[in-house]
Structure 1
Amino acid sequence: MNDSLTPKTIRPPFGRYSHGVQAPAGSRFIFTSGQLGIRSDDSVPEDIEEQAEICFENIRAILAEGGMDLSDIVRLNAFVTRREDMRRYMNVRDRYVVEPLPASTLYIVSGFTRPEFLVEIEAVAARVD
């Protein structure tokens, strides 16, 4: 089991994440590419929440393909194009992250390869088999 590292000597996290995560020795890792909010039929919702849900469902599918699940995520990096979408992204993230809470960073970026993309999420997962 991965362990959350949130020292009492530093400010608590701003949201539902850990300052650090320790994976046990001998862990197997899965690193996902950044997932965009595009469906398998190439449609892209206009809403950031729907795009974020697609990203997390894609991550869930990638992890399942490797024999892991969302509880194995140790690190999330998320990128949004509009500061006003931060809270809406985090509301979706909070529905998908489970204990132990992963380390997480959220970036505001100027854009992605196509203007309709509003969010991109990448994950690192670890598990001892």
Structure 2
Amino acid sequence: MHQPIMPDSMPRPAARYAHATLVTNPARWLHTAGQVGIDADGNVPDGVAAQAKVIWHNIAALLAAADMSADDIVSITTYVVASAMEDGLAEAMAERDTFMSGRLVASTLLTVPALVRPEWLIEIVVVAADQKAA
């Protein structure tokens, strides 16, 4: 079971995430590389929100290939180009929340001056822990 950890002795998180996620007896782990908003045809849509939608679609594919789902995600790290922060960040976080179906997991948001390609505005890394025997 994945359990959000949010002690009363700490301030509440700044958004819809948990300060930590406790994983009991994981059978398998999946660590993704940073995913950027490139679709299967090599297209990169304009804007943070549109790229986030593609990224979550690609993360779903990675999870499915590992016989996992969003329910197995325990940690999310999101990198957003600082100059694009006003370009749909709220919508991008809503994409995350929708993908996670309201589940709270450990999550970190960082701003960066740039990603490797100028058209990339957001990059997301997830860690998933599966408690089913392989």
Unpaired runs of 5+ residues, structure 1, are: none
TM-score by length of 1: 0.93
Taking the TM superposition and a 5 Å limit, the aligned residue runs for 1:49-128 are: 49-81=49-81, 82-85=84-87, 86-98=89-101, 100-128=103-131
- The TM-score normalised by the length of structure 2 is 0.90
Match of 2:18 in 1: 18
Q: Give the superposition deviation at 1:99.
A: 5.2
Amino acid at match of 2:38: I
Give the whole-Å Cα distance in 2 for the aligned partners of 1:12 and 1:43.
Answer: 38
Aligned length: 129
Runs of 4+ in 1 over 4 A off after TM superposition: none
- Structure 1: distance between partners of 2:61 and 2:95: 17
Give the letter aligned to residue 46 of structure 1.
Answer: D
Any idea what the Cα deviations from partners look like across 1:29-80, whole Å, max 9, x if unmatched?
A: 1001110001111111012111001111111110111111001100000000
Q: Percent of counterpart pairs with the same letter?
A: 36
Structure 2's unaligned 5+ residue stretches are: none
